[in-house]
Amino acid sequence: MEQEYIKLIFGLKLKQIRTDKNLSLFGLSKISGLSKSYLNEIEKGKKYPKPDKIAILSEKLDVPYDQMVSLKLDKNLAPIGELLQSKILKEIPLELFGIKESNLIDIVSNAPAKVNAFISTIIEIAQHYNFSRESFFLASVRSFQEANNNYFDDLEQQVLKFSKAYQVDLTSPFTSKDIEEILIEEYGYIINETELSTYEALENLRSVFVPKTKTLLLADGIDEAQRTFIYSKEIAYNFLGITDRLYTFPWIKFESFDQVLNNFYASYFAGALVIPKEALTLQLEAVFEKPSFDEALFVKTMNAFNASPESFYQRLTNILPKAFNIQNLFFLRFTHKLGTEKFHLKKELHLSHQHSPRANETNEHYCRRWVSLNVLKDISKSKKSHEFDIQMSNYVGDNAKYLVLSSATKDPFREHQYRSISIGLLINKQLERKLKFFEDKNIKTEEVGVTCERCSIQNCEVRQAPALALERAAKNKKIEQIVEELNQKSVR
């Protein structure tokens, strides 16, 4: 264990023993001969007493020496001990969130009982919802993105620096061959496009990097946009000097939070390289200035870059808050398998606050009026490579309205599998001023809910389940009302 954690555990135990014996710090100081300030430093985990001092405390508090120095905590403090011994605080770079580890330790030492209750609650929730270490790390990265409005100027500047150093023209789309040449000539990569397909178990992977030989294995089913993105991520790892990294795309395993965070940095760099900020901003301005929504122009803007629809929508979450001050938005990625009625929300991001469409319990049914789901239905019936739609979504229960743009494509690596990418912009006065096409009557408006179980829309023709959650809430409210009336009668 870290030495500071050992000090903290000893301090927690000493404080608990002292308070159990109804002793103040002043009282313990009197009977032990140790100064009050010294004892206070021990209890806060800042100092660890020498053996002779521990012997004095053991004798005066009538507690065996071995019990005093043991790292084992009683049941009241055990969860805190588990947290410290798990080293989870070491795995997460708290400084990213402006938190010092010493501050957390101070909180634990000052109110161990309350912190213990909090930690126990978090553990219970995590177990109940099967909240894994992976989920925790991914949630931490999302929080980091949201705290920075998903815009990282240092990475944007690194892209500009790279383009200048390697003479990559960001004013026009470049091909994967341009980036491949840099990987091979500058970083000594070997590109292998045949070996990965020989391993049946790796059929869902698009790339694997073998660091020992600097070999990049590519799946034979990737298209030009995917290849360019993979190459751009490899450029990012090398140009940014990142060594603690993930080796597969999509990733299947990580050793630390740093690897997950570095994967995000590399992905952000790749997105900014393939879809440059200045070029995208200019083209979006042209779309926003139109008096009616020009779908053809928007799709043309999307196709103007050597990128997938997902990369394009992800890039919108970087650029809209920064370049257009549109900071209230959400991003969703759904997957759907042909022949089923199940839709899985695989990825989400919420900027400025938690918006209405969000992950819910897996046994609930997402609203079938969402454009995110409708484009999936459309593409599963058509033979198109890309389906696009736009919708004004009015969340009746939340009193919020969004402009939602959504694209659906076939998953090239999974048979009969489709995915949709959506970005939703909260409708307010500011957005209305930004978008000249806001009054376009051709944009359909739908009243929507989050899930059927929580939806108050009456006579919905696509409802998948009754509004059980709302019914329970209404029943509880009725009970509360009756109890309140009975209490009022008793007062009279």
Tell me the C-alpha distance between 435 and 425, whole Å.
Answer: 11
Model pLDDT, residue 70:
85
Query: What own/partner pairs with CB < 8 Å and gap ≥ 24 does 109-112 have?
Result: 109/8, 109/11, 109/12, 109/15, 109/43, 109/44, 109/45, 110/44, 112/12, 112/15, 112/16, 112/76, 112/77, 112/80
Q: How many helices, marked H, and strands, marked E, lie in the chain?
A: 20, 10
Model pLDDT, residue 19:
86
Helix (H) or strand (E) holding 215: strand 215-218
pLDDT, tens digit only, all 492 positions of the chain: 567 778 888 888 898 889 888 999 999 999 999 999 999 999 888 899 999 999 999 999 999 999 888 877 766 666 666 666 666 666 666 776 677 766 666 666 566 666 666 666 666 666 555 566 777 778 888 888 888 899 999 999 999 999 999 999 999 888 999 999 999 999 999 999 999 989 888 888 899 999 999 999 999 888 999 999 999 999 999 999 999 999 999 888 888 888 999 999 999 999 999 999 999 999 999 999 999 999 999 999 999 999 999 999 999 999 999 999 999 999 999 999 988 888 999 899 998 877 877 766 567 889 999 999 999 999 988 878 899 999 999 998 788 999 999 999 998 778 889 999 999 999 999 999 999 998 899 999 999 988 888 888 888 888 888 887 666 767 777 888 888 888 877 665
Tell me the C-alpha distance between 298 and 280, whole Å.
Answer: 11
CA torsion 464-469-472-476 (nearest 10°) is -160
